[in-house]
Each structure stands twice: as structure tokens, then as C-alpha cells.
Amino acid sequence: MADLSMKRYAPRSLYARAALILLLPVISLQIVVSVVFIQRLFEDVTQQMSTNVAYELRYLRDAVDGAPTPEAARRALEALGRDFDIGTTLPDPVPVTGTDRRVYDLSGRLVIPTLTDELGGVLGIDLSTDDGVVDMTVDTRHGPLRFRFDRDRVSARNPHQFLVIMILTALLMTVVAYLFLKNQLRPIKRLADAALAFGKGRSVPYSPRGAFEVRSAGAAFLDMRARIERQIEQRTMMLSGISHDLRTPLTRLRLELEMLDPAEAEPMRRDLDEMQQMIDAFLDFAREGAVGEPELIDPTDLVNDVVEKARRAGGTVERGRIQSAGTVTLNSLAVARALENLVGNALRYGTRARVSLDRTGRALVFVVEDDGPGIPVEARAEAMRAFTRLDGARNQNRGAGVGLGLAIAQDVARQHGGVLRLGKSVDLGGLRADLVIAL
């Protein structure tokens, strides 16, 4: 369960996952180094330097407390201040009270408590007036004593520079690594695009590039594509030859039927028409939606053409909800053939059909509904297999078929990156077929 929850939040694209793999170690290393750096330099070193200065300040304060008069204390401070390089003022006319530091002064949060604890009697410490100077006032027997000395004596000079340099270097290396990684991922993206195009019935130019493993996968894809194209071509040629050979005797039979009595010849003529329809269905299935090339069309016009053809053929077909989808690129001949098969099935097993068009996200959904008996849920997957006829599920009195209508529509949907879904029509009560075409 934990693994599934992690997958939910993981990026879906290869670029994003590669960037995550690249950034996680860098960010983790930055955090670890920053923590160690702050602990060692900002805390240990700063505390040690502040303690050393506190010893000198204590010595000066003790000298003041040991002097008999304020004048003697000032003379002692003048000599000791030069030796320790610490400015002194006794008495302090404007004593520093409280503590103050800048927000970004990280080392100041250790300097102030260290001096206060080690020295004692501190009235105030100011680190905000000047970043390079420490101003503080302590209490003595001769009045408040001002100390002023360089900030470098209690903390490292510009300690934040290390963090800035480390972050800038990490960003620079991240950019370089990203550019290198992008160059390595580009061949994989080209391979994915070529495979996606081939899955939609298009063969785009592709040559293997990149690392050895990517080249091997690309070469395997080219071999597979060539083998599939040869198989499709051979199957189409075989079925086309069979169809051509069968049309000749069918034509002779039609001519012979013309010489017979019309009443006696009518049943045989219907059988010949049915055989002709079967041959045409075999050829449609053999092509697998590969007729024509993708073109820029308006799907609304395609739906209108299919509906008008079905009406001219005597079918009761109505237009449902038509959502404008603008112009899209798809194989109009293949999609039209799939819709014609779905409408033909709807009219064969029902009395009327309805064709609708919807657009959801990055897909077109052609919906064909009828008022027939429908297909049970458990038999819908079987119904989309080639040469499958569900005699118990659909009425065969309306005409015979070879069980290829749904299979052809499913192949067309797959070649456009979509799917064929079967369900129950809420309005008409029969079968609902959703032909989903990815854009």
C-alpha cells in the first residue's frame, strides 16, 4: 500500500522523473553539508571565539573594578585597550541596553548569549548598528563601561559566503547535468513518438540514436515495424486476391439469375448480395483502418455525412448532441468506416439509431446508440472479437453479418490511440457504442 501511495505522487513524465532523481541527491547533500557547516562554524567556532574575547573583556572589567578611582580606571583602560585592541569608554554616556542583531545574522544568536554568560553584568549588546563592530555595555563599580571591538574577533568573516558559493555551485552543476540528461533522453522521446505514430497507423522516419541500450531498442522497434508492415501487406494482398477471384463467379451467377424467373431468382439474389457484403467486410477488416492518410477535418461534418448516407440507404438515424470540436487531424476514411459499421449494426438489430459527438479533454467521443436488444455486460468483450456473432444477444432476423463490425471499429479506435466502449443506451434502451479517438 505504501508503494502505491508513493506512485500516486511520483511524476508521470520521464523528464520530470529524471529531474527528480537528479535533484533529490543534490538537495539532500546541500541540507547535510549546511547542517554540518552551521554546527561546526556557526556554533563551535563562533562560541570558541566569543569565549576568548569574553576573557579579555573580563580582564579589562576587573582592572576597572580594582582601580581606586574612576580616573585611575580610565588610565588603566587606556593602556590595556591599546594592547587588546578594544575601544573603551568610561563612563558610557549612552549605555547599550538589551540585545539587538539583524535577522540574517546567524552567528549573532550565539555571540550574544556567549558574551553574556561568560562575562556577566552585561547591560546590553548591539550587533545591528554596524555589521563589522560589536557595541556592548557592562556594569562596573565606577559606572557603565562601553566596549567596542571588531566583529571578526567573535565570529568568522562573512560566514554566509560559503553557503552562497555552495548553492550557486550546486545550481550550476544542476543546470549542466540537466542539459546532459536532456540530451540523453531525447532519443527515448523520439523512439516513443515513432512508436505512438505507428500505433495510430502512421510510419514516421526514425533512426536509432543515443546510448547503446536506446539504439538496441530503436533497432528492435524498426525490425518489429517492418515485420508488422509486411504481415499487413501480405494479408491485404491475400484477401484482395481472394475477393477478386470470388467476384468473377459472383458476376456470372448474377447474369445466370437474370435468365431465370424473377420469383424463383429473388432468394438466390439475396444470397449473392449477402455474399458480396461478406467479401466487402473481409476487405475492410484486412485494411485495419489504414485506408487514407490523416488530414485536418471537422468531426461534425464527418458525423453529418455518416448520418446522411444511412438515411439515404433507408435507415432511421437521428443526430444526437453534437459538441463543436473545431478542426482536428485524423484518418477521416477510417473513422467514417468505423462509424458506418456501428450505425449498420445499430440498424440491423434495432429500428432506429442515434449518432452524437462529444469532446472530453484530449479525445473525441463518437456515440452510436440504438433501440435493439443490446449486448449483456458479460458478452461485450467477446462481441468485439473478430468473426464473433452473438446469436442469443442480437436479433439475426434483421440481416446476417460476419461478426466484423465491432472488430473493425475497435481497430480504428486503437490506431488513433483510443478505445471502443460498449454500454447500455439510457435514452433508447439498446446498445451504446463509444468510439474514442485520441487527439
What pLDDT score was predicted for residue 397?
45
Domain residue spans in the chain?
7-157, 288-438
At the topology level of CATH, where does 7-157 sit? Answer: Beta-Lactamase (3.30.450)
| Predicted local distance difference test score (pLDDT) of residue 160 | 63
In this prediction, residue 366 carries a pLDDT of 94
Its pTM surpasses 0.75: no
What's residue 365's pLDDT? Answer: 92
As assigned by CATH, the class of the 288-438 domain is alpha beta
CA–CA dist 368, 433 (Å, integer): 5
What pLDDT score was predicted for residue 401? 54
Residue with cell 490511440: 417
Residue-level pLDDT at 28: 81
Q: What's residue 369's pLDDT? A: 94
Return all residues near 417 (Cβ < 8 A) that are at least 6 apart: 196, 199, 200, 437, 438
Q: Please report, in angstroms and rounded to a whole number, the separation of the first and last CA atoms in the chain.
A: 34
For residue 248, the model assigns a pLDDT of: 77
pLDDT at 368: 94
In angstroms, the CA 301 to CA 280 distance is 25
Q: What does the pLDDT read at residue 157?
A: 62
Cα separation, 33 vs 164, whole angstroms: 12
10-residue block means of pLDDT along the chain (439 residues)? 58 72 78 71 77 89 88 86 86 86 76 86 83 85 88 72 76 82 83 81 81 87 87 74 74 80 79 75 59 78 90 88 82 86 88 90 90 88 74 47 74 84 90 90
Run of H or E residues at 125: strand 122-126
Which one-letter amino acid corresponds to residue 237?
A: M
Q: How open is the CA angle 380-382-388, to the nearest 5 degrees?
A: 115
Domains 7-157 and 288-438 share a fold: no
Nearest 5°: CA angle at 174, between 173 and 176?
65
Coil, helix or strand at residue 298? coil
